[in-house]
């Protein structure tokens, strides 16, 4: 699919828009105003209108947006019809939470295998996903190009090195460790402690009016 580059901030909001529109469509709703969208996805309506303008003029004054049309548009944009298979490394509490999470409900990413070193887990299924031994990482990955990293911090870099040697394209790093990768690999890092600290910082320094 050819499309012009859109701003990264806009790109980040696309999955949110998609999810909400999908829910609306499931409820049989035919149209939605930018105000309704705004309240549902917690993005101000001016930003929504600007975001949507990058895809061409999709809204009509006094009518709002056609849900089915928008949904078809986003589905193509987010490549919803093309399944992306993902591997998860580390089936501790956080990894297990991911495996039980129903990713397929609203999108087309699917965790198809997990890896762990714990022999009690290897060979079992968690959330219908088979758990392989971490020693089999390279043997089992096949053409999977995205991995979720939920291993203990002190193992994050060595596993990352193996993923890099294997030829991974993207890593969703949920460990507190900042990992080093070749520039060809995209890493998104979500650190639970930093997220909490950041919220506390905003609360202290950017209080909202009562």
State yes or no: 91 annotated in a binding site: yes
For the chain, what is the HEC assignment? CCCCCCCHHHHHHHHHHHHHHHHHHHCCCCEECHHHHHHHHCCCHHHHHHHHHCCCCCCECCCEEEHHHHHHHHHHHCCCCCCEEEEEECCCHHHHHHHHCCHHHCCCEEEEEEEECCCCCCCCEECCEEEEEHHHHHHHCCCCCEEEECCCHHHHHHHHHHHHHHCCCEEEECCCCCCCCCCCCEEEECCHHHHHHHHHHHHHHCCCCC
Q: Measured from the CB of residue 60, what is the shortest distance to a copy of itself in angstroms?
A: 25
The answer to whether residue 12 forms part of the interface with a copy of itself (CB under 8 A) is yes
The answer to whether residue 166 forms part of the interface with a copy of itself (CB under 8 A) is no
State yes or no: 62 annotated in a binding site: no
The answer to whether residue 144 forms part of the interface with a copy of itself (CB under 8 A) is no
Query: Please, which residue, 93 or 119, has the CB nearer to a copy of itself?
Result: 93
The answer to whether residue 44 forms part of the interface with a copy of itself (CB under 8 A) is no
In the set 25, 38, 45, 109, which binds a copy of itself (CB under 8 A)? Answer: 109
Query: Please, which residue, 59 or 90, has the CB nearer to a copy of itself?
Result: 90
The answer to whether residue 172 forms part of the interface with a copy of itself (CB under 8 A) is yes
Interface with a copy of itself (CB under 8 A): 3, 5, 8, 11-12, 14-16, 19-20, 39-42, 78-79, 84, 86, 92-94, 96-98, 100-101, 103, 106-107, 109, 145-146, 148, 169-170, 172, 176, 178, 180, 183-210
């Amino acid at each position: 699919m050819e499309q012009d580059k859109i701003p990264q901030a806009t790109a980040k909001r696309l999955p949110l828009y998609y999810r909400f529109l999908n829910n609306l469509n499931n409820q049989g709703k035919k149209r939605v105003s930018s105000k309704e969208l705004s309240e549902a996805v917690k993005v101000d309506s001016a930003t929504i209108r600007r975001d949507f303008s990058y895809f061409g003029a999709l809204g009509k004054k006094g009518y709002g947006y056609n849900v089915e049309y928008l949904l078809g548009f986003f589905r193509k944009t987010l490549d919803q019809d093309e399944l992306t298979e993902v591997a998860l490394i580390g089936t501790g509490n956080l990894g297990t939470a991911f495996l039980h999470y129903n990713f397929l409900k609203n999108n087309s990413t699917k965790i198809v295998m997990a890896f762990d070193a714990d022999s009690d887990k290897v060979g079992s299924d968690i959330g219908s996903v088979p758990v392989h031994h971490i020693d089999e990482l390279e043997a089992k990955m096949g053409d999977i190009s995205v991995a979720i990293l939920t291993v203990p911090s002190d193992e994050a870099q060595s596993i990352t090195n193996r993923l890099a040697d294997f030829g991974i394209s993207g890593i969703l790093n949920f460990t507190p460790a900042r990992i080093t990768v070749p520039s060809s690999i995209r890493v998104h890092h979500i650190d639970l402690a930093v997220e909490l600290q950041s919220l506390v910082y905003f609360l202290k320094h950017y209080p909202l009016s009562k």
